[in-house]
Amino acid sequence: MESQSDVPLISELPEKRAGLPKRVWDESKKLWEVVGPAVFVRLLLYGMSVISQAFAGHLGDRELAAFSIASTVIFGISFGFLLGMASALETLCGQAYGAKQHHMLGVYMQRSWLILMGFTVLLAPIYIFTEQLLIVLGMSAELSREAGLVSMYMLPMHFICAILLPLNKFLQCQLKNWVTAVTTVAAFPVHVAATWLLVQYFQLGVVGAAIANNSSWFVITGLQLAYALGGGCPETWKGFSALALVDLKDFVKLSVASGVMVCLETWYYRILIFLAGYMKHAELAVDALSICMSLAGWELMIHMGFLAGTGVRVANELGASNGRGARFATIVSTTTSFIIGLFFSSLALIFHDKLAIMFTSSEAVINAVDNLSVLLALTILLNGIQPVLSGVAVGSGWQALVAYVNIGSYYLIGVPFGVILAWGFHYGVTGIWVGMIGGTTVQTLILAYITLRCDWNEEALKASSRVQRWNSSK
């Protein structure tokens, strides 16, 4: 059996392949070369968020609600859009790397930095005017004031994302995920120590938790920049280039399409927490839902790793004009991710009455989370499939199509259905969540149909054409 380093990035042509078990094993090794570090990094990053939320939760119910709104809704809105825009690099860098056009990866990253920084400036007012926005939308004055203060202190993280996210995609597409893993490991103890010092020792409360987040993200970004620009990527980073300013219009189109596709997904369940703020006993509803979303989101980081891995594998195979290899990578990734989702969904049902203990000592909140555990398990199960299908879309360059699918499934079906159940039929928080699970189900079924009907040979031809077109700008 070949070692992992001996397994080629691009699959062999399919005519004379080994048996199915050997093919699955080889594809799994190539997939996990991306997925493993990606999952590890995402779990650590999300773990930082959970640590901050846990510290806020033990300060009080209002502090937990304010921090949840600021970090989950406000930061989540901007982060989702910027993450989506950066995912355009998964399409372009992945296909360019598969086509061995290594020098273009650094140019693509610079273009992404320029575009994301511009949109970061445009999105900054939502942090500055969070308090006023929440009051206009009907939130209580006290909760809005607290959430607005936390949002202001999260503004530096917003700008860091414009540098860090394209850098992550740049490293990921050339299988240097170990760099992101090492830098995140280095920042994790910094985050824990900073959070304890600022929240507990210096008594800065939720503001201290926000400042600690900024500190740890600064460490991660600085270390990764030092590696990428300091000689760690000699084939793909040739220094700053004026080519980054060429053909920005087409790059913006793909980036915006990617941003819309991903942010419509990431905003979806954040709207659930936002709507909970309008219910009776709003603080209890927001607390319970934010804990459920934190648990689901933490587990989702595993499948987001599969999204990243699937995007890279599909893009690499299509860039190498191997449509059948892209199809096989999709099958292996989807099956593996679903099995993992089924396992964690079962755990959510088994430990239903203990899920909230790490976040709060409030019996009311613990019981409220217990009552939502079945919906949490269903959400985790769907998470096992949907992100992988989105990864296929990213690797294939289908972002614009999936954006339309997301609008219809989430915002024309899921949200209205949830609102009707919550307020029309008086099912409260449960009704909102059931409606939104329905929207996710519709979206997953549509993406599955699109993937099953895909002509992979045609997609390979499109990828080759795309790489040649972008490379002609050099």
Domains in the chain, number: 1
DSSP string, 325-366: HHHHHHHHHHHHHHHHHHHHHHHHHHTTTSTTTTT---HHHH
d(CA 251, CA 270): 28
What local confidence, expressed as pLDDT, does residue 103 receive? 80
Residues in the chain predicted with pLDDT less than 50, given as ranges, are 1-16
**DSSP helix, strand, coil percent of the chain (3-state; round to 5):** 85, 0, 15
What local confidence, expressed as pLDDT, does residue 250 receive? 77
Report yes or no on 209 lying in a domain. Answer: yes
Containing structural domain, residue 338: 20-471
d(CA 308, CA 262): 12
Report yes or no on 1 lying in a domain. Answer: no
Say which residue the tokens 């936390």 belong to.
150
Report yes or no on 2 lying in a domain. Answer: no
* Residue pLDDT, tens place only, 194-244: 999 999 889 998 999 999 999 999 999 999 999 999 999 999 998 898 888
What local confidence, expressed as pLDDT, does residue 197 receive? 95
Cβ within 8 Å of residue 343, ≥6 positions away: none
Structure tokens at 198: 């600022």
**Cα 308–109–159 angle (5° rounding)?**
85
What local confidence, expressed as pLDDT, does residue 471 receive? 55
d(CA 313, CA 319): 10
Q: Whole-prediction pTM value?
A: 0.75
Report yes or no on 7 lying in a domain. Answer: no
Report yes or no on 52 lying in a domain. Answer: yes
Report yes or no on 15 lying in a domain. Answer: no
What local confidence, expressed as pLDDT, does residue 92 receive? 80
Within 10 angstroms of residue 238's Cβ, the number of other Cβ atoms is 15
Report yes or no on 281 lying in a domain. Answer: yes
Cβ(207)–Cβ(63) under 8 Å? Answer: no
Report yes or no on 386 lying in a domain. Answer: yes
